[in-house]
Amino acid sequence: MQRRLYPGRDFRRAQNIDELREMARRRLPNFSFEYVEGGADDEVTLRRNRSVFEGITLQPRTLVDVGQRDLGCHFFERPSSMPCLIGPTGFNGLLTDRGDWHLAQAATRAGIPFVLSNASTVAIEEIAAIDGVRAWMQIYLYRTRQHVADLVARCKALELEAIVVTTDSAILGNREWDRRNYSRPLKLDLRNALDVAAHPGWVWDVLVPHGVPRFKNLGNLLKPGQDSVKGAASAIGQELDATLSWQDIAWLRDLWPGKLIVKGLMHPDDAPQALKYGVDGVVLSNHGGRQLDGAVSAMEVLPGIVRQLKGRVSVFLDGGFRRGTDILKARLLGADGVFLGRAGLYGLAAGKGPGASHAIEILRSEMDRSLGLLGCSSLEELTPDLIHDPVWRGLAEAIRR
């Protein structure tokens, strides 16, 4: 009998993230799924983000008592149930109605932080009102700095823990497959318009309740009536600032008294700058393969940057995480935690909030099982000798010297 993924719609039957991905693909119209799925140019970096994990092989111990296992860790001295969190992803209102709210609820149920995207269709005030939520806010340093200052003021009023400033999108990447869905900017071509009509479940979920989703955190950045996903896209593009520099991080640091995290760092020469400008954390990221095609994966630069920053700045990363073992490999190479992007979105698209929770629990189960199979009871027991490859093991050992 030929192998195949579960072909139905019951997200609870999904065995892994790839199966949730297939359910999401079937439920969403093509243009919406392509926005989540696609990368830049030839998608070399998009593929590299996944293939890098195959080269890091593990060498487990045996005859070790692993009857009690604990995935718990700390981010900024506060506990997290496992070494991952839901990272910022925009336009989630095109996956399901109030998508970001559902994702935040899922993260809260799982006991991990949630980072709301600047390009969210749910207001940060609604997220902060969720009982027990650990909410962080992503921002872009747009040309209109008063908007940025106003958003920071909102975050201060809500007493949020952290701001995550994304720095790798000052120039928008070349996402050809996404653009092919449109006959002109923001106008779906006939094929995609008919495809939307062929997904009535999505139409009733996303478009019927409140119309085209509207941005809720862009405020004075947009003209009246241009706050819809369709109307705001061109305005946001014009606000991207190619002059962005570390001096702008200094400006933001003066405004924001909480934890400040810089997302998009990839070069080891940038690591000392994070220390110089007083940031509390960095996220190593190539933006999910959606910006510079041909860039290395965050996993490849992780050990070198951790070696420079370990103990002084928290180091996170994202890009291609689909298995619990992927997350454990990042911990072995020195990461404090992993930002989840597409993995959570596949669950959200397949089954709203419960689907997102299922995606998180799949990864939790895989991490717990793999931790035990490695012969470890906690994340602290993950040591370089568990890596088989000499090069990767050497990098992991260098971090601990």
End-to-end C-alpha distance for the chain, whole angstroms:
52
Q: Per the annotation, does 320 bind a ligand?
A: yes
How many Cβ atoms sit within 10 Å of the Cβ of residue 273? Answer: 16
Q: What is the largest CA-CA distance in the chain?
A: 66
Q: Per the annotation, does 53 bind a ligand?
A: no
Q: Per the annotation, does 290 bind a ligand?
A: yes
3-state SS class at 153: helix
Q: Per the annotation, does 138 bind a ligand?
A: yes
Q: Per the annotation, does 318 bind a ligand?
A: yes
Contact 119, 91 (CB under 8 A): yes
Cα(137)–Cα(79) distance, integer angstroms: 19
Q: Per the annotation, does 259 bind a ligand?
A: no
3-state SS class at 14: coil
Q: Per the annotation, does 277 bind a ligand?
A: no
Look up residue 207 and give its two tokens. Answer: 């478009």
Contact 82, 72 (CB under 8 A): yes
Q: Per the annotation, does 142 bind a ligand?
A: no
Q: Per the annotation, does 117 bind a ligand?
A: yes
Cα(218)–Cα(148) distance, integer angstroms: 9
Q: Per the annotation, does 79 bind a ligand?
A: no
Q: Per the annotation, does 169 bind a ligand?
A: no
DSSP H helical ranges for 38-82: 44-51
**Cα-atom radius of gyration of the chain, to the nearest Å?**
21
CA atoms within 13 A on the CB side of 77: 6
Picking from 155, 109, 123, the residue whose alpha carbon sits closest to that of residue 261 is: 155
Cα(239)–Cα(223) distance, integer angstroms: 13
Q: Per the annotation, does 179 bind a ligand?
A: no
Task: Write the CB contacts of 194 (distance below 8 Å, at least 6 apart in sequence).
Answer: none
Q: Per the annotation, does 285 bind a ligand?
A: yes
Q: Per the annotation, does 35 bind a ligand?
A: yes
User: Could you list the active site residues?
Assistant: 287
Q: Per the annotation, does 322 bind a ligand?
A: yes
Task: Write the CB contacts of 314 (distance below 8 Å, at least 6 apart in sequence).
Answer: 75, 76, 261, 280, 281, 282, 336, 337
Cα(64)–Cα(233) distance, integer angstroms: 54
User: 205: which DSSP letter?
Assistant: I
Cα(156)–Cα(162) distance, integer angstroms: 10
Contact 80, 106 (CB under 8 A): no
Q: Per the annotation, does 140 bind a ligand?
A: yes
Q: Per the annotation, does 270 bind a ligand?
A: no
Contact 331, 83 (CB under 8 A): yes
Picking from 93, 270, 96, the residue whose alpha carbon sits closest to that of residue 167 is: 270
Q: Which residues line the annotated binding site for glyoxylate?
A: 35, 140, 175, 263, 287, 290
Q: Which residues line the annotated binding site?
A: 35, 88-90, 117, 138, 140, 166, 175, 263, 285, 287, 290, 318-322, 341-342
Q: Which residues line the annotated binding site for FMN?
A: 88-90, 117, 138, 166, 285, 318-322, 341-342
